[in-house]
């Protein structure tokens, strides 16, 4: 065999022990936070049918699907072969599409509302770049079958709790509603068919500012009055001194907005305000510029931001129409996804305690093996480690790996016990 490059496939990563320990600790912490709200883990396969994944629910992500070759095809393809005939399965690009299939398939056995937690890998053939990977972990919670904004309030409270448990602070929860966005578009004079492009540009306001938004809207062919009315409208809304004031102004400025939309926003807002009074590390804003990428949202949408991350660290919303596409009847649904890779970087996690390193010379004697066994019987971890000449250096390095106690054997017999404190590492 020719010698191959031993790196992982482009855009993917190998995780050595310290990295896995960190990721696993974050997963445990998140899972426990969500479990305390009644969310339970669900798992679906990595592979779904190509048909389902290209059904139009994934937006831009559908272009990035890894498709699987059918088995048993001939090496020499007959002339006229069409690419799409060669594949039947594909790797999932998110956890929402598989969840809707799972729910449609299993709803009869599930409690309603069903609280789902999913933590798993997804795959996208992205151009690899800083913080962008072709295989990465997503962490989603969803409430299925709860039509009221109790779902929104709980998802956000649970996610704030999960982030704060990882010492990820300060965080800001930003709340909006797809129906508010539609009314803004209407009020700004955007015609029906062009709202998608309008929202994509509006979504960038935070990062690029009004001048650039205006230029981009012009490039997209919008009349200059669209940018002007939008700026004026959002300026009027932002000028309120409280979230309650903002709701009043939304009602004033967007007369076509249903009173139920405002009432629901008021209810979620008051739950979040109460929460922000309890947690110093959390603030809350009603933000009519929050857009969220996916096309399937139908009601409230939200994201959570952190000062050290330019994009949001969590986001989601209500998607009451999506399950209907699999099940044949609509089911109220609402979800939020944590940007797991960003959260792993931000989390404050204690280093692992690897227990006792039992150091021996040459081949381990019966005494060495018995010592390790005795330590394990006490419920402690014990790893056999061949001793190096530079013992002090080796102990320092083992300490920094996570070993917290040492037993050294010389000539097969226990040597004077050594202990290391944090000051010696």
Considering only residues 94 to 113 of the shown chain, the ones binding a copy of itself according to CB under 8 A are 101-102, 104-106, 109-111, 113
Distance CA(20)–CA(15), nearest Å, equals: 6
| Distance in Å, CB of 316 to a copy of itself, minimum | 19
Among 258, 281, 351, 386, binds a copy of itself (CB under 8 A): 386
Q: How many CA within 13 A on the CB side of residue 119?
A: 17
Among 25, 47, 238, 253, binds a copy of itself (CB under 8 A): 47
Distance CA(270)–CA(268), nearest Å, equals: 6
| Distance in Å, CB of 118 to a copy of itself, minimum | 9
287 CB contacts (<8 Å, ≥6 apart)? 174, 175, 176
Q: Which is nearer to a copy of itself, 66 or 222 (CB)?
A: 66
Phi-psi domain of 287 (left: phi exceeds 0; alpha: psi -120 through 50; beta: other): beta
Among 245, 384, 418, 424, binds a copy of itself (CB under 8 A): 384
Among 25, 59, 62, 67, binds a copy of itself (CB under 8 A): 67
Among 401, 412, 415, 420, binds a copy of itself (CB under 8 A): 401
Cα distances (Å, whole numbers) of residue 207 to 177, 187, 197, 210: 20, 23, 17, 10
Q: Is 268 in the site for a copy of itself (CB under 8 A)?
A: no
Q: Which is nearer to a copy of itself, 106 or 308 (CB)?
A: 106
Q: Is the dihedral of CA 29, 290, 299, 259 positive or negative?
A: positive
Among 163, 237, 382, 395, binds a copy of itself (CB under 8 A): 382
Q: How many CA within 13 A on the CB side of residue 373?
A: 7
Q: Which is nearer to a copy of itself, 99 or 205 (CB)?
A: 99
User: Site residues for a copy of itself, window 315-374 (CB under 8 A)?
Assistant: 325-328, 354-355, 363-364, 369
Query: Site map for a copy of itself, 140-179, x if CB under 8 A?
Result: --------x-x---x-------------------------
User: Site residues for a copy of itself, window 198-237 (CB under 8 A)?
Assistant: none
221 exposed, middle or buried (CB, 10 Å; 0-12, 13-18, 19+)? exposed
Nearest to 45 by CA among 78, 89, 109, 104: 89
Q: Is 391 in the site for a copy of itself (CB under 8 A)?
A: no
Element (H, E) at 407: strand 403-410
Q: Is 15 in the site for a copy of itself (CB under 8 A)?
A: yes
Distance CA(190)–CA(196), nearest Å, equals: 10
Among 26, 30, 61, 66, binds a copy of itself (CB under 8 A): 66
| Distance in Å, CB of 176 to a copy of itself, minimum | 23
Among 69, 196, 208, 212, binds a copy of itself (CB under 8 A): 69
**Contact between residue 326 and residue 123 where contact means Cβ atoms under 8 Å apart:** no
Q: Is 259 in the site for a copy of itself (CB under 8 A)?
A: no
Q: Which is nearer to a copy of itself, 33 or 312 (CB)?
A: 33
**Contact between residue 106 and residue 145 where contact means Cβ atoms under 8 Å apart:** no
CA angle, 127 then 132 then 135, to 5° = 90
Q: Which is nearer to a copy of itself, 37 or 210 (CB)?
A: 37
**Contact between residue 234 and residue 203 where contact means Cβ atoms under 8 Å apart:** no
Number of residues that bind a copy of itself (CB under 8 A): 93
Q: Is 134 in the site for a copy of itself (CB under 8 A)?
A: yes
Q: Which stretch binds a copy of itself (CB under 8 A): 48-56, 181-189, 206-214, 307-315?
A: 48-56
| Distance in Å, CB of 81 to a copy of itself, minimum | 5
Nearest to 180 by CA among 269, 241, 95, 242: 269
Q: Which is nearer to a copy of itself, 71 or 389 (CB)?
A: 71
| Distance in Å, CB of 80 to a copy of itself, minimum | 8
Q: Which is nearer to a copy of itself, 57 or 201 (CB)?
A: 57
323 CB contacts (<8 Å, ≥6 apart)? 100, 103, 104, 144, 330, 331, 333
Cα distances (Å, whole numbers) of residue 113 to 6, 108, 203, 267, 333: 47, 12, 32, 19, 9
Among 195, 381, 412, 420, binds a copy of itself (CB under 8 A): 381
User: Site residues for a copy of itself, window 299-318 (CB under 8 A)?
Assistant: none
186 exposed, middle or buried (CB, 10 Å; 0-12, 13-18, 19+)? middle
| Distance in Å, CB of 305 to a copy of itself, minimum | 24
**Contact between residue 269 and residue 285 where contact means Cβ atoms under 8 Å apart:** no
């Amino acid at each position: 065999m020719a010698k191959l490059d031993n790196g992982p496939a482009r855009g993917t990563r190998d995780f050595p022990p310290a990295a896995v320990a960190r990721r696993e600790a974050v997963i445990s912490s998140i899972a426990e936070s969500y479990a305390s709200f009644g969310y339970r883990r669900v798992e679906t396969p990595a592979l779904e049918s190509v048909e389902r994944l290209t059904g139009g629910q994934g937006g831009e992500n559908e272009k990035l699907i890894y498709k699987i070759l059918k088995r048993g095809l001939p090496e020499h393809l007959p002339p006229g072969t069409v690419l799409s005939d060669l594949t039947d399965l594909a790797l999932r690009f998110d956890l929402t599409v598989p969840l809707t299939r799972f729910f449609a398939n299993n709803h009869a056995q599930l409690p309603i509302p069903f609280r789902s937690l999913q933590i798993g890998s997804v795959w996208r053939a992205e151009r690899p770049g800083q913080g962008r990977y072709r295989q990465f972990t997503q962490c989603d919670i969803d409430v299925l079958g709860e039509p009221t904004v109790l779902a929104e309030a709980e998802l956000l409270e649970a996610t704030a709790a999960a982030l704060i448990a990882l010492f990820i602070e300060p965080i800001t929860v930003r709340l909006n509603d797809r129906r508010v966005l539609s009314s803004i578009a209407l009020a700004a004079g955007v015609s029906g068919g062009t709202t998608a492009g309008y929202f994509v540009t509006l979504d960038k306001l935070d990062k690029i500012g009004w001048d650039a938004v205006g230029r981009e809207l012009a490039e997209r062919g919008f009349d200059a009055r669209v940018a002007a009315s939008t700026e004026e409208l959002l300026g009027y809304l932002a000028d309120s001194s409280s979230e309650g004031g903002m709701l009043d102004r939304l009602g004033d400025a967007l007369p076509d907005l249903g009173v139920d939309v405002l009432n629901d926003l008021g209810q979620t807002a008051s739950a979040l305000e109460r929460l922000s009074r309890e947690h110093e590390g959390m603030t809350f804003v009603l933000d009519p510029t929050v857009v969220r990428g996916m096309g399937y949202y139908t009601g409230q949408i939200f994201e959570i931001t952190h000062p050290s991350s330019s994009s949001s660290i969590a986001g989601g919303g209500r998607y009451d129409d999506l399950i209907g596409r699999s099940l044949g009847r609509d089911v109220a649904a609402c979800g939020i996804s944590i940007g797991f890779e960003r959260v792993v970087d931000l989390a404050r996690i204690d280093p692992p305690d690897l227990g006792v390193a039992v150091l021996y010379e040459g081949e381990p004697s019966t005494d060495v093996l018995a010592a390790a066994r005795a330590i394990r019987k006490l419920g402690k971890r014990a790893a056999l480690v061949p001793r190096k000449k530079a013992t002090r250096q080796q102990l320092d390095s083992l300490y920094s790996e996570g070993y917290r106690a040492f037993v050294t054997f010389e000539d097969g017999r226990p040597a004077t016990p050594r202990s290391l404190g944090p000051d010696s590492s």
